[in-house]
Amino acid sequence: MADNWGFYERRDGGEQLRVLVNTGYKDDEPAADYPDLLSITVNLYPVRDQVKTRRQFVAQLEELESKLEAWLESGRGAIYAGRINAATRLEFYYYLPADRPGEDALRAWVDEHWPHRAQCYVKPDPQWEFYRYLLPDTLEELFVHNAQMIYALIHKGDKIAQPRNVYHWLLFREDEDRLAMERLLEKEGYVIEKEKESKPEQDYPYPLVISKFEDVKLDTVNARVRELHRLLAERDGRYDGWGAVMRLSPSKRFRRYVRRRKESAQLALRRVLSWRCSQSNQNEAGKH
């Protein structure tokens, strides 16, 4: 099964959790050959106390994660299910095969490769119940999509802190619910985008496009989607995604302009050469 990682935020018992989960197994039956759940919990306080910058802090944790993953998967066949990042701790979760290394060996490895306090335990979980707990619900699935979109924007050079019109697509089963939502959202400061195209679906034939002028940072987008998801649930509606125009820095815009001009010039040159080749072939054919 190919890995398919998703990231989202969850509130659990008043605690804010950042969850990374491998959703590639969500449609499969629990793997009978991997009946045991390994948890390694790292206390984050001593790590923060011994580093000067956030970059160093993140680098230490990424190094531990990389070493742990290599050790457990290479020759031991463990499955990395996911991790939970809370304010005070970082938890790694693996499913282990029946012939897994003993707990003493696991603790010895952690003690050798991690200088700070960490807890390590293994417990039976043949039905993969904890993995089901890690999987995102309907709203959290939207958060996963938000994180993927915003990561793509950052990768392309978008200045995500810069406000712009952010559009949201909503769908309704009944037209009266759509009209009621229009009135409510206008009072809440949303703009109803009458001119924006939205395709109806068979079960949700009444679309609505709205917008809000704000940034596209992950916390902002997640809060907006959470609000809309709650309002739609009260009116038998469905959230269908969001979009926004990219905002690039001046240097990024210039590089993008130069790249497009270069691509346009190359395309024009290929067309000229292709035409000349075609003309030459026709002339050669005419001589015969």
Q: Which residue, 31, 226, 205, is CA-closest to 142?
A: 226
Inter-residue contact 121 to 39 (CB < 8 Å): yes
Token pair, residue 281, equals: 């072939």
DSSP-derived 3-state class of residue 174: coil
pLDDT value of residue 126:
94
pLDDT in tens, the chain (288 residues): 568 899 999 988 889 999 999 999 998 888 888 999 999 999 999 888 888 898 999 998 999 999 998 988 876 788 999 999 999 999 999 999 887 777 888 888 888 989 888 899 899 999 999 999 999 999 999 999 999 999 999 999 999 999 999 999 999 999 999 999 999 999 999 999 988 878 889 999 999 999 999 999 999 999 999 999 999 999 889 999 999 999 876 655 545 545 666 655 566 666 655 655 555 555 555 555
Question: Which pTM does this prediction carry?
Answer: 0.78
For the range 123-126, what are the long-range contacts, defined as Cβ-Cβ under 8 Å and sequence gap of 24 or more?
Answer: 123/36, 123/37, 123/39, 124/35, 124/36, 124/37, 125/35, 125/36, 125/37, 125/95, 126/30, 126/32, 126/35
pLDDT value of residue 254:
46
Q: What separation in angstroms does the CA of 168 have from each of 50, 221, 267?
A: 44, 10, 36
Inter-residue contact 210 to 191 (CB < 8 Å): yes
